[in-house]
Chain A
Amino acid sequence: MKKLTYLSICTLVIASIALAGCATAAASPAAKAKEGTVTQKTAKQRTVVTKVPVLVKETSFYSDGLVDQYIVYKLDDTKKLLLEKATYDTSRSDPVERLTFEYKDGRETAETLYESDGKVRSRHELSYDAKGFLASERVLDSKGMIQSSSAYAFDANGRKTEWRVLDASGSAKALTSYVYGKDGLSVIEMRDIGGKVTGTIKLEYSDGKLGKRSYFGPDGALEKYEAYVYSGALLSSLESHRADGSLAGKTAYEYGSSGGVAKASEYDASGALRASTSYEYIVREDSSIETYYE
């Protein structure tokens, strides 16, 4: 299921920083040794402060620049956990809907969606296995009745390998399997419970970055694809194409000084602006100790 939206951002950002730090610390002496340097190096430590953009507000605009709605993100004191996502319509004073998040041991355990009148619309509950991987998820309606659920399986590397969707009675309805290549996720295959393929998504990478995502129907015919266009390390646009290669639409991204996406603009096939969204961030400073050699 498409969940953990906000938490995923934080997790991904933190993970990348950690990786970058390790690479810097380890590569330096190794590279010097290769060059035959014999000078004795001393390991030292220093504090690294990493600035992490944290999304706090997004505003949606019509193509004529008129504001449609905005979303306010409420975070905990550490600015790491999202507590609430409130959506406001510019025509109304109260939030049109509110999504609240619950956590246990630092992991999200539930999301509850409230209507504008404060009544619960739906609730998602998440549970984890002993290794900390998302094991299952269930969707409940406003009366607390289970509507559907999902079960996940992971490989030894913690990569999702299977997603099983079950209906309210617990009967399996669909099975999705995930196949990984050298660059990452490469094929997603979707099947109904009879084992019949209902669709396939293939992912292609270029220079380690996702470049294309193609959607195939049950008969294996290409239905559509998305092309990822980068400017350096950053995604500059996402193009949606029909099976015949013609452009169906495009979303272009602009980045702000914090490093986060500042604006996303949606265009139709003719290149006319359809809508745009702006993103506002606060910057969180994460401190960590880094070892280096001198």
Chain B
Amino acid sequence: MKRIASIALVLALGVVLGFADETTEIYKVLYQQAEGLPQKYAAVLNLVGLNDKSTASVLASALDELIATQKSYQAGVDQELYAKTVRLLCQALGDYKYEASASSLWTVSQDVADPLAEAEAIMAIGKIRDLDYAERIAIKLRDLNLQPTADRDAGEKVAYGCIVALDKLKDSRGFSPVFFATDAWYSQRVRQQAAQSLPNIADDPTDAIKAILGSESPDRQLRALTAETASKAKSDRKIEAAILALNLGHLKVPHDKAEAKALSDLRKLALRSFIAYKATGADPVDGCSSSYTNGLDDEERLFALAALGVNGSDPAASVLRDILLKLNEDQQAGLTDDTRNRMAKAAIDAASSSKNKLVKPALVAISINEKWSGGVIAAAQVALKAMQ
């Protein structure tokens, strides 16, 4: 015999869901009657422990009063208790998403000289999701990123608060400072939080990422493009960023091998993005062509061929055709090696993928050039057949 016990759930609901009751009313009154900081702290501790949203307006008034009377609590012991009380209030107001308290919370972040209280206030604004403060928090984090604060620990705490808040605010203005926080001077914990928050900040961070691509080192450009590919931006936006990254990756002259490698990695990621998101049209073609001609290694050249094939447009097919004809010409002239064979096979595959008739004469030329290996000729014939 089985039965579902639900009778008491109605009674239990009040407890589960935190209905207002006499405890709330009593502690509200006790806070209002509290004299001196210790009594206020004790009342706040009880009030926030109730987890009752109906206390929010009382908590907000308490915070305003503490902000206004901050100068009264200058002694060391008072300062500590003051900061603890402010932190409790900020956290609760954030938890209750009490929108009316946002300006008070921002005042705490500006005026209260306790890094934990400052961080808590900023995180509370994030929880409230008041976008009016997104830019101000982004600027605060940007400034913190630039160099270690005199008190490193204090700066880290505030930076952490900014990152968590920007994560909650989900405003694209927060992307860039959180991106730079991932490799700023902070401890691993803060940098990890930035890396964890970065994908959550904006569904489409393309504009911010394009700005980073246009002004940063190859390492950061690569991380920026990686963030773009991992984002929820639409494919055409990801392609837009990849085109810029590829072009910039070709424009920049590397200072050393490490930078050359970083630039090549950037270009490869851009080319892989073209393949993954099926980039078509003329815009990506020049970059692909440059990667085939000037790529750091065979892998980059092979990605370029594949990207041209996926592209399939007339400009892309023309480049593929020219590549195939040049390879065929060289083969005819007796220039042959494994790399050329590999490139030829990849170019034939790409030509086949392009399904563009512009590549047909080049494929015919290869298929009748007996200097190619049987494998290459067969590949060209299969490609031709597939295009008919």
Contact = CB atoms under 8 A, between A and B. Distances in A.
**Size category, B interface:** 35 or more
A190 interface: yes
Contacts of B10: 209, 230, 233-235
B29 A199 contact: yes
Contact of B29 (A17, A47, A53, A174): A174
A190 B29 contact: yes
Given A68-B127, A148-B46, A2 B12 contact: no
Contacts of A55: 16
B93 to A, nearest CB: 14
Interface in B334-348: none
Interface string A1-37: 1101100110011011100100000000000000000
B16 A1 contact: no
Interface in A75-106: 89, 91-93
Contact of A46 (B1, B18, B30): B1
A49 B1 CA distance: 6
A244 to B, nearest CB: 18
B24 to A, nearest CB: 7
A253 B5 contact: no
Contacts of B200: 91
Interface in A252-288: 253, 255, 258-261, 264, 274-275, 277, 279, 285
B118 to A, nearest CB: 16
B293 interface: no
B29 A167 contact: no
Nearest to A148: B42
A1 to B, nearest CB: 5
B211 interface: no
Q: Identify which of B3, B24, B126 gathers the most chain A CB atoms within 10 Å of its CB.
A: B3
B17 A122 contact: no
Given A91-B164, A176-B26, A215-B25, A13 B2 contact: no
A20 to B, nearest CB: 7
B45 interface: yes
A20 B7 contact: yes
B96 to A, nearest CB: 10
B20 interface: yes
Given A5-B15, A8-B15, A192-B33, A15 B8 contact: yes
Interface string B81-113: 000100000000000010000000000000000
Interface string B105-144: 0000000000000000000001101000000000000000
Contacts of A16: 5, 7-8, 11
A234 B42 contact: no
A293 to B, nearest CB: 15
A221 to B, nearest CB: 14
Contacts of A91: 126, 164, 167-168, 196-197, 200
A66 B167 CA distance: 12
A192 B34 CA distance: 12
A57 to B, nearest CB: 13
Given A141-B45, A261-B13, A2 B25 contact: no
B161 to A, nearest CB: 11
Contacts of B41: 141, 147
Contacts of A2: 15, 18, 21, 23-24, 49-52
A98 B167 CA distance: 22
A51 B5 contact: yes
A48 interface: yes
A238 B54 CA distance: 14
Contacts of A168: 38-39, 42
A92 B16 contact: no
A275 B56 CA distance: 15
Contact of A92 (B13, B25, B164, B170): B164
A52 interface: yes
A167 B97 contact: no
A5 B14 CA distance: 9
B4 A258 contact: yes
A258 B2 CA distance: 12
B127 A188 contact: no
A285 B5 CA distance: 10
Nearest to A209: B10
Contacts of B9: 9, 12-13, 53, 234, 255, 259-261
Contacts of A255: 6, 9
Given A2-B18, A139-B46, A199-B22, 10 more contacts: A9-B16, A15-B8, A17-B7, A50-B5, A53-B6, A68-B127, A198-B26, A215-B20, A235-B10, A261-B17
3 smallest CB-CB distances across A and B, nearest first, come from: A259-B6, A16-B8, A147-B42
